[in-house]
Chains A and B, each alone.
Chain A
Amino acid sequence: MAKAKEGNVIAKHVSLVYDPLGVNVLAVADCSFEIEAGAFMAIVGPSGCGKTTLLNMIAGFDTPTEGEIWVDGTCIASPTIRLTPGPDRVVVFQHGALFPWRTVLENVCWGPIMQGTMTREEAVEKAREVLKISGLEGCENEYPMNISSGMQRRVEIVRALVNEPKILLLDEPFRALDAMTKSVMHQYLLDLFDATGKTVMFITHDLDEAIYLADRVFVMTTRPGRLKQMIEVDLPRPRNMKTKVTDRYIELRNEALNAVHEEARKAFERGEREMAK
């Protein structure tokens, strides 16, 4: 399944200024990082720090006001190049964006059929295959409302994967799940990552999740979001529940915790100050 690696993402001094109501808000300031092809990077930071904005810029929903984003050696977004969203960089959203009016199978098939890359029969066949190896057999003809939230998430990741994206952009996909389902989904995502070798950019505010899943954790400061610390997670793969009790894991977690906690407190205090004004 592992092909020639593609999906190398480089961000060079990326900034984004929002301009709602004429007041400039610097959402992301001077972020530079590289995600190697086939690597798993997690972005952690306090809420409102511009994590999602960063992801939106790579997805093509926002255009950076400064800096450049390069994918596989070509500059795809800069202040002068407006990037449009495309199936090579599929996003999975925090609240879930499965279309409720389509069955699971139709949802999964929708991308390839609509793009015209596959015929209906091919798409259905491929979708069934991917659903089967994801343990989603038997619910193909259910509507998304009738399956559990964990299953919905899995379907959504499957829907992204059938498009053969270079990069999988996950925007807090497991936020709304309970702890049990979450741990199952972590294992699923890890297995999937090991099997497909896609580049993954994973946004979360849950440190454990970030360290457990990622090769590299990018800790952001409060708004404006800058690079606070880059933590290389050298835990061996494949990982499983036992990884979480190794000494190295706890060490990394402590390191990250200090960085994030400091920022979270700053964000909290500033929030109070803004309220007091």
Chain B
Amino acid sequence: MEAIQMNKVEKNTDQVDWASRIDGYTEHTPFQKFWRRSMRGIFNLSNLRRILSLVIIVVLWHVVTTLKIPPFTRVPTPYEVWVDALSFIPTMHCFMCVIFSMGRIYLGFTIACLIGIPLGLMMGWNRVVKNFVFPTFESLRPIPVISWIPLSVIMFPLTEHSIVFLVFLGAFYPIVLNTLLGVESVRADYIQGALSLGSKPRHIFFDLILPGALPSIFTGMTVGMGLAWVMVVAAEMVAGGYGLGYMTWESYILIAYPRIILGMFTIGACGYFSSAVIRHLGNKAMPWRSLF
């Protein structure tokens, strides 16, 4: 078996430190090197442009609202929003709104994952299940989820339940569809290879189909999370109760315009945060993918 020993490439260990041969070269300490590198990572031209684009949009907003150019005549200026934010964000009311919306998202989204992912996996795995479920699924999917609002208010006695149901519905479709797509995208070579290594169906399901579908599942979850936020805001505006969507709508009724903008920003921030959580979970679950 020694014959198989391959000629390994010897690593070139005696590297020449070319830099030290240059006149006037001074050795930096590791900390200095680290510091320089990280500063270069933060203050470079690309980041400068990125910050500039944000600054420009705020300036534009300020100009447009102070000059009262239609349709921005009644839109609050950035300064008004800033002042309102300072007085509103530390209050209990703001905190409760975020907690309520987050709670509804969390519940509805979790239920959507718990039902949607297994359903998608089963549809991709078993043709009988797909034959039974897919036609129903595809005929319900084109109905915009927002149009479910009246029906869900009738269906559930408590508003809380109907909001969670709507969130569930919003997240459910993309999760199922992407999971199904993920299962079907697993390469036939992997399955044939696994069969030829002597695997049984359960090994193929848990060791091939599931990890193979994971990238798609997480894509579905990200898209589903976006729709979950759409649904929670819409449902809260209609059905009421606490929550960010309700707060935003209430501010309109109370003619507290800066708070509308504040509500929008808070919703955006919460949505971004939830997507970041999913992205983080995805990176943890799929260490073989360097980028996700």
A191-B4 in contact (CB<8A)? yes
Q: Return the 9 tightest CB-CB contacts between A and B, nearest first.
A: A135-B6, A97-B193, A87-B198, A101-B211, A85-B195, A111-B197, A97-B189, A143-B288, A91-B196
**Distance, CA A136 to CA B193, complexed state (A):** 21
Min distance, Cβ A237 to any Cβ of chain B, angstroms: 11
Given A95-B189, A97-B190, A99-B190; A90-B197 close (CB under 8 Å)? yes
**Distance, CA A188 to CA B1, complexed state (A):** 11
Q: Enumerate chain B residues within 8 angstroms of A61, measured Cβ to Cβ.
A: 192, 195
Q: Enumerate chain B residues within 8 angstroms of A87, measured Cβ to Cβ.
A: 196-198
> Which among B196, B207, B214 is the interface contact of A60 at CB below 8 angstroms?
B196
With both beta carbons as reference points, the residue of chain A lying nearest to B2 in the complex is identified as A133
- Other than the given A84-B195, A99-B211, A115-B197, 9 more pairs (CB < 8 A) read A101-B211, A101-B214, A102-B207, A114-B203, A135-B5, A135-B7, A135-B8, A184-B6, A191-B4
Chain B residues in contact with chain A, CB under 8 A?
1-8, 187, 189-190, 192-200, 203, 207-208, 211-212, 214, 286-288, 290
Q: Enumerate chain B residues within 8 angstroms of A195, measured Cβ to Cβ.
A: 1, 3-4
With both beta carbons as reference points, the residue of chain A lying nearest to B199 in the complex is identified as A114
- Residues 170-195 of chain A, each 1 if its beta carbon lies under 8 Å from chain B, else 0: 00000000000000100010011011
A202: interface (CB < 8 Å)? no
Q: Enumerate chain A residues within 8 angstroms of B7, measured Cβ to Cβ.
A: 135
Q: Work out how many contacts link A and B, with CB atoms closer than 8 A.
A: 91
Chain A residues in contact with chain B, CB under 8 A?
1, 59-61, 84-87, 89-91, 93, 95-97, 99-102, 110-111, 114-115, 133-135, 143, 145, 159-160, 163, 169, 184, 188, 191-192, 194-195, 238
With both beta carbons as reference points, the residue of chain B lying nearest to A117 in the complex is identified as B198
**Distance, CA A90 to CA B198, complexed state (A):** 9
Q: Enumerate chain A residues within 8 angstroms of B195, measured Cβ to Cβ.
A: 60-61, 84-85
A159-B190 in contact (CB<8A)? no
25 A–B contact pairs at CB < 8 A? A1-B1, A60-B195, A60-B196, A61-B195, A84-B195, A85-B198, A86-B198, A90-B197, A93-B189, A93-B193, A95-B187, A97-B189, A97-B194, A99-B208, A102-B288, A114-B197, A114-B203, A133-B5, A135-B4, A143-B288, A145-B290, A160-B197, A169-B196, A184-B6, A195-B1
Q: Enumerate chain B residues within 8 angstroms of A238, measured Cβ to Cβ.
A: 3
A134-B196 in contact (CB<8A)? no
Min distance, Cβ A248 to any Cβ of chain B, angstroms: 23
Q: Enumerate chain B residues within 8 angstroms of A96, measured Cβ to Cβ.
A: 189
**Distance, CA A87 to CA B193, complexed state (A):** 10
Q: Enumerate chain B residues within 8 angstroms of A145, measured Cβ to Cβ.
A: 288, 290
B6-A89 in contact (CB<8A)? no
A114-B1 in contact (CB<8A)? no
Q: Enumerate chain A residues within 8 angstroms of B192, measured Cβ to Cβ.
A: 59, 61, 85, 91, 93, 97
Q: Enumerate chain B residues within 8 angstroms of A159, measured Cβ to Cβ.
A: 197
A115-B198 in contact (CB<8A)? yes
A101-B212 in contact (CB<8A)? yes
**Distance, CA A135 to CA B5, complexed state (A):** 6
With both beta carbons as reference points, the residue of chain A lying nearest to B198 in the complex is identified as A87
B288-A133 in contact (CB<8A)? no
Min distance, Cβ B119 to any Cβ of chain A, angstroms: 22
Min distance, Cβ B104 to any Cβ of chain A, angstroms: 34
Min distance, Cβ A165 to any Cβ of chain B, angstroms: 9
Q: Enumerate chain A residues within 8 angstroms of B189, measured Cβ to Cβ.
A: 93, 95-97
> Which among B4, B187, B214 is the interface contact of A188 at CB below 8 angstroms?
B4
Min distance, Cβ A240 to any Cβ of chain B, angstroms: 11
Given A97-B187, A99-B208, A99-B211; A192-B4 close (CB under 8 Å)? yes
Min distance, Cβ A200 to any Cβ of chain B, angstroms: 15
**Distance, CA A103 to CA B55, complexed state (A):** 45
Q: Enumerate chain A residues within 8 angstroms of B196, measured Cβ to Cβ.
A: 59-60, 85-87, 89-91, 169
> Which among A84, A91, A115, A143 is the interface contact of B193 at CB below 8 angstroms?
A91
With both beta carbons as reference points, the residue of chain A lying nearest to B285 in the complex is identified as A101
Q: Enumerate chain A residues within 8 angstroms of B1, measured Cβ to Cβ.
A: 1, 133, 195
With both beta carbons as reference points, the residue of chain B lying nearest to A111 in the complex is identified as B197
Min distance, Cβ B190 to any Cβ of chain A, angstroms: 5
Q: Enumerate chain A residues within 8 angstroms of B214, measured Cβ to Cβ.
A: 101
Q: Counting chain A CB atoms within 10 Å of each CB, which of B6, B198, B199, B287 scores highest? A: B198
Q: Enumerate chain B residues within 8 angstroms of A114, measured Cβ to Cβ.
A: 197-200, 203, 207
**Distance, CA A52 to CA B130, complexed state (A):** 31
**Distance, CA A87 to CA B203, complexed state (A):** 14
**Distance, CA A239 to CA B86, complexed state (A):** 81
**Distance, CA A135 to CA B4, complexed state (A):** 8
**Distance, CA A172 to CA B190, complexed state (A):** 16
Q: Enumerate chain B residues within 8 angstroms of A143, measured Cβ to Cβ.
A: 287-288
